[in-house]
Amino acid sequence: MSEANTALGDTPLVYLASGSPRRRAILEELGISYSLLAVDVDEIAGGTAYATVEENARRKLLAGLVVARVAHAGTEEEKTRPGWPRHEGAIVVAADTVLEAQGRLLGKPGDEAIAEQYLRILSGGTAIAHSAVAVAAAGAGEGCLATETAEVHFKTLSHEVIRWYLSTGEPMGRAGAFGIGQLGEVLTESVDGCYSCVSGLPKTALISALSRVAGEQLPPWLRSVPSGLTGTRAQLHSLAIDLP
């Protein structure tokens, strides 16, 4: 499944290795033309928050780059499939997010009982959203990995509120059983840091990483990002790309 959000002709594309509607929306908010790449990776769920999101973002990026590489070696029939990467130098973007609360990493709940447990942990407290963005050009030996954090302060969630939120189905498949980009926002009191970091694709980290590895794939206003934009919450470092 994949589609471009604008008609781009021969312009190289940014490819998002994610099925998240919120991540798609964030790229659109930034004016970044993209297509989707479906990737299937085994995510880790342990270690420190930073190690978890960085490793998961790296795995998704490598899986996306493999798809992009295979695309250029595929048959003509394969290359006509929707979303097939058609441009040399395509940029692949991948991301991962977890919430950390009460010393625990809250990933995607496996069932409703775990989702309810997570929401009880979040109730009346503060959680740290840790997000990582991994970016690289197809065929490059090095990319960029950026991390960002934000603190989310939650209202005290009654049993009735938790059961109502569970009934919406929104907590499933979301880090911490909570989606701030939709109904989940009403569970919060405030956010310290970038809202998009909690949504799963932090804009500061994304823009900074893209500016290091991308060029004509981006709109002009994103090609040269001032160093001061990174601030204190986003951290960038190089990422070696070693595909099998």
Question: Which domain covers residue 101, as residue numbers?
Answer: 14-240
Tell me, yes or no, whether 8 lies in a domain.
Answer: no
Q: Is 44 exposed, middle or buried (0-12, 13-18, 19+ CB in 10 A)?
A: middle
pLDDT surpassing 90 at residue 166: yes
More confident: 159 or 174? 159
Strand partners, 146: 133, 236
> Which amino acid, residue 205?
A
Tell me: the pLDDT tens digits for 112-153?
999 999 999 999 999 999 999 999 988 888 999 999 999 999
Tell me, yes or no, whether 4 lies in a domain.
Answer: no
Q: To which residue do tokens 């989707």 refer?
A: 36
pLDDT score for 28: 92
Q: Could you confirm whether 96 is annotated as catalytic?
A: yes
Give the number of domains in the chain. Answer: 1
What does the alpha-carbon distance between residue 33 and residue 35 come to, in Å, rounded to a whole number?
A: 7
For residue 72, the domain's CATH number is 3.90.950.10
The kind and range of the H/E element at 129 are: strand 126-137
Tell me: the pLDDT tens digits for 45-58?
778 999 999 999 99
Tell me, yes or no, whether 93 lies in a domain.
Answer: yes
- Residue 80's pLDDT band (boundaries 50, 70, 90)? low
pLDDT score for 76: 53
What is the value of pTM for the model shown? Answer: 0.85
Tell me, yes or no, whether 99 lies in a domain.
Answer: yes
DSSP classification of residue 49: H
Tell me, yes or no, whether 7 lies in a domain.
Answer: no
Tell me, yes or no, whether 19 lies in a domain.
Answer: yes
More confident: 57 or 221? 57
Name the 3-class secondary structure at 143: strand
The catalytic position among 96, 111, 192, 242 is: 96
Tell me, yes or no, whether 115 lies in a domain.
Answer: yes
Residue 114: count of CB within 10 angstroms of its CB: 16
Tell me, yes or no, whether 1 lies in a domain.
Answer: no
Beta carbons of 198 and 187 less than 8 angstroms apart: no
